[in-house]
Structure 1
Amino acid sequence: MFKREIYRKILIYALTFLFAFPLLILILWAFSGQWPWPNLFAESFTLEGWKYFIDPANGALESLATSVIIGAAVTFITLVISIPAGKAMGLYNFPGKGAVKILVLAPLIVPPLAVTMGIHINFMLLGLADKLIGVILVHLIPTLPYSIRIMTHTFEGLGDKFEAQARVLGAGTIQRFIHVTLPLISPGLFSAGILVFIISFSQYLLTFLIGGGRIITFTMLLFPLVNSGDRMLAAVYSLVFIVSALIFTLLMERVLVNPKQKTDHFYI
């Protein structure tokens, strides 16, 4: 028993180190000035990378705001669609259910470039290309399959017995959804929402093709910096990317998880 506890702690510390070490290097790069090979530590530290980031002339803050707006909108729309879709596939049996499950995953199976080129042509005909709404809509393609899949498993695990009890006690459709269904599926919504936001926030190819270079997101600025070899700016932008995702995660937890705790003493 004692040895097992030691092995468990060693494993935990090893995993913590594996996750924390790359982040520590990223933080050092974000503040390092000259760091020539083969020095173990940087010769100087500077805030030039952060000054460059907050400079309005470089458009980093504006692109970050655009990415957050797109990601939040995509997350909201995706969850609104995924709740009824996941409930239908998780609780009900209907003809062609297996085929529908496969079709939901089709956007992940078909090569993204081929799909995007076809969508781009249709978006140009509809007047959605090179616009923010077009980028939001095209981000639904890679996010909906994951979200619907998560919500399907969520409803499969919960079943419909709680809603049935609320119905027997006289609760209406809206009451059942707000006070019974929504608190129960909040962990699934939280998981799906975080995954959807990160996928949307990380999109480069879809945003570039549909946005036409007019909708500049944070990822479109980050990728060129990584490829250019500018470690300091790439590290700064990468840290901002991580912090933005973390902040959104905390907000989602506050909105979706905490309300569930408040309904623990709710009685219909």
Structure 2
Amino acid sequence: MNRRFVNLLLYAVIVVMILPMAVLLLWAFAREWPWPHLFPTGFSVRGWVHLLNPATGALPVLFYSVLLSSVVTFLTVTFSLPAARALAFCEFRGKQAIEIFVLSPMVIPTTAIAMGIHVNFIRLGLADTFWGVVLSHLLPCLPYGIKILTGVFGALGDRIEQQARVMGAGRMKTYIYVTLPLISPGLVTAGIMAFVVSFSQYFLTFIIGGGRVVTFSLLLFPFIQGGDRHLSAVFSLAFIATVLLWVFALEALVRRWVKKGQYFYM
């Protein structure tokens, strides 16, 4: 009885997850879907033509967004590694206060953050620039990266690193050949979170970019707000597909790097 209940619950969860995607897929090809019809009464590829048409510039913006979010992901992981290691292994006065401060961008509204840094970015000449948007995206991304990698470092400990040092490995070799392969699952998780958060940023990009730095989210949200469900569905599917492809590529790249180095022996 319990097993049957678990299976029914699992199937219900699967249906709940698949149903919105099925509706989104239908809207991506629906010209009209009036109430109370169960399925669209007309079909169209207007949205796909708009997405793929070079005159609209949607695809270049999509590739530009992937580049921008990839840079944000790289910087997030790079900056999160030393901070997470220090929070996991070092004991010092004010550690809890620093941990709370690191997580504060997750609590403070994005509007307050954007308006606060926009004035400073104007003074520094970073407003309406690629790097200004990248730096602004680091604010919501870094807390996730630091939190994830702190947990990974805390779970693994530093005994294996100490063993490598005892056997004659220097700090750099220990870090490259021992630490990074061990935390590679955490690196992938932190990278995925950073990419998704950056790729979906709308308000920060709109304020800091000033309309000159255009990302795919800036193209998507007006269609959603305007009520064009067909174009919204098409751009949403392109958004989801891009994120999934990037995630699979990152996992394959990290898996190939770890396997090529033969860092683990089973």
TM-score w.r.t. length of structure 1 = 0.94
Alpha-carbon distance in 1 for matches of 2:55, 2:2: 57
**Mean CA deviation greater in 42-51 or 215-224:** 42-51
AA of the residue aligned to 1:217: T
Task: Name the Cα RMSD after superposition.
Answer: 1.5
Letter of the 2:157 counterpart: G
Identity of aligned residues (%): 48
Of 235, 238, 259, the residue aligned with 1:237 is 235
**Secondary structure of 2:168 counterpart:** coil
* Matched position secondary structure for 2:32: coil
**Is the contact made by 2:177 and 2:263 (CA closer than 8 Å) also made in structure 1?**
no
Q: Which residue of 2 aligns with 1:226?
A: 224
Q: Match for residue 173 of structure 2?
A: 175
Distance 2:86 2:106 in 1: 21
The aligned residue for residue 204 of structure 1 is 202
Q: Which residue of structure 1 lines up, in the alignment, with residue 89 of structure 2? A: 91
Q: Where in structure 2 are the equivalents of 1:119-268 lying within 5 Å? A: 119-262=117-260, 266=264
Gaps of 5+ in 1: none
- Counterpart pick for 1:20 among 18, 21, 40: 18
- C-alpha distance in structure 2 between counterparts of 1:265 and 1:159, whole Å: 18
Structure 2: which amino acid aligns with 1:35? W
Aligned residues: 265
Matches within 5 A, 1:67-86: 67-86=65-84
Give the C-alpha shift of residue 258 in structure 1. Answer: 4.2
1:102 alignment partner in structure 2: 100
Structure 2 portions without partners, runs of 5+: none
Question: Is the contact between residue 34 and residue 42 of structure 1 (CA under 8 Å) also seen in structure 2?
Answer: yes
Q: Distance in 2 between matches of 1:16 and 1:259?
A: 33
Is the deviation greater in 7-16 or in 238-247?
7-16
Quick one: which amino acid aligns to residue 143 of structure 2?
P
Residue aligned with 1:129, SS: coil
Aligned mates of 2:202, 2:188 — CA distance in 1: 24
Conserved in 2, the CA contact under 8 Å of 1:86 and 1:148? yes
**Which amino acid in the other structure matches residue 140 of structure 2?**
P
Residues 26-74 of structure 1, C-alpha deviations (whole Å, 9 max, x = no match): 0010011222222111122222210111112212112211211111000
CA distance in 2, matches of 1:130, 1:185: 36
> Whole-Å Cα distance in 2 between the matches of residues 27 and 179 of structure 1?
44
Any idea what SS the aligned residue of 1:33 has? strand
